[in-house]
Structures are given as structure tokens and as C-alpha cells.
Homo-oligomer: A and B are copies of this chain.
Amino acid sequence: MISPSYLRQGIKNENPLLLERFKVLSKGTGLKELYVKKIRNGTVIDHILAGHALDVLKILGIDGREGHIVSVAMNVISKKQNKKDIVKVENRELKPGEVDKIALIAPSATISIIRDYDIAEKTRVKLPDSIRGIVRCSNPACVSNAEPVEPKFSVERQDPLRLRCYYCVRIMEKTDVLRQF
């Protein structure tokens, strides 16, 4: 029997052919093998848009040198047969500003706080209708880059991202945002 928390902490490889292969080759490891190992305490960011795990690490300020135990899986197959990325960071919980930044580049991500191998909290990131103070306007002539005002954008579309500056109406897309992280 596989414990429910084991099933919940990450996504199993659901490709039946691969599973069959695993069944034969990984004796004693069970049928549902996780791409990356369970963690005891920390944060699991799952369902990240495929190919964006390294951007998530950048947002969290993780380059490996700070010593956190981190596992990353990129372009793996999710339950719904879509590609996705996963990031697991041990002994680290996210700050609100970090969650907002992740929402900008990975609007479908889920964030689970793990305590003693169990999910203490699980949330789907959500972009509000307007965002403030997370990114700067990419228009150098925008008043928000010259005066001490807080940058502010309306979220016109979540995916693909489309932000409109409240001050100069400049449109920002995901590539513009990523450049700032």
C-alpha cells in the first residue's frame, strides 16, 4: 500500500510503458516512482510551466551555493500527460513576494508546504487583477522609473502573460518580466 502523503507530494510518472519498465527493473521501489524524492520539511512547487524551473530557482535566489538541498525535475510528464517542471526545496518556506513572482511566470503552479513529510498547506498560485511593486515597467521613460511611485500593472491576461502599466500603458510580456528576475 502506498501512503496518501506519498501520492500527494509530487507527481508520479504515469506513462504506462515506462511504469511497466520500472516495475521490472526497480525491484522494491514500488510502482509509483517520483521524479524527485520526497522531502521532510520545506516547499514543493509543482505544476510549473514546463521549462521554467530554473526561473523559479532564480526567483527564490537559489543558485546552489547557499547550501539548500534542492531537487528539480524539468519537462516531466504530469498525470494529464502534459509536460511540467517541479522544484522541491528542503527547509525553506516561501515569502509572499516570491509567491507573487512565481505566479507571474508559472500561473498554473501549486505550492505545498511540507512539514514532517506531510502537506501542511497547499495553494495554487493566483495572479490578482492588478499587481504592485513586484516588477518595474520596462519603459525607461515611464514616470514610475523616474519618480518615487510604486510600479502598478493591470493583468490583462495570465497565460501567456500580458501586463499593462498603470502609468504609461506599456505592455509587458513574460520575457520582459523574466529579464528582471
Contacts and interface: CB of A to CB of B under 8 A. Distances in A.
Interface of A: 1-3, 5-6, 13, 18, 21-22, 25-31, 33-38, 40, 50-54, 57, 62-76, 83, 85, 117
8 interchain residue pairs of minimum CB distance: A51-B64, A28-B30, A72-B72, A51-B65, A70-B74, A64-B74, A29-B30, A71-B73
Given A18-B40, A52-B64, A35 B5 contact: no
A133 to B, nearest CB: 27
Contacts of A1: 27-28
Given A29-B29, A51-B63, 7 more contacts: A21-B40, A29-B30, A35-B37, A36-B36, A51-B67, A69-B73, A70-B75
B64 A117 contact: no
A5 to B, nearest CB: 7
Contacts of A73: 36-37, 69-72
B6 A25 contact: yes
A1 B28 CA distance: 7
B85 A74 contact: no
Given A26-B6, A29-B30, A30-B29, A64 B40 contact: no
A37 B35 CA distance: 5
A25 to B, nearest CB: 5
A98 to B, nearest CB: 18
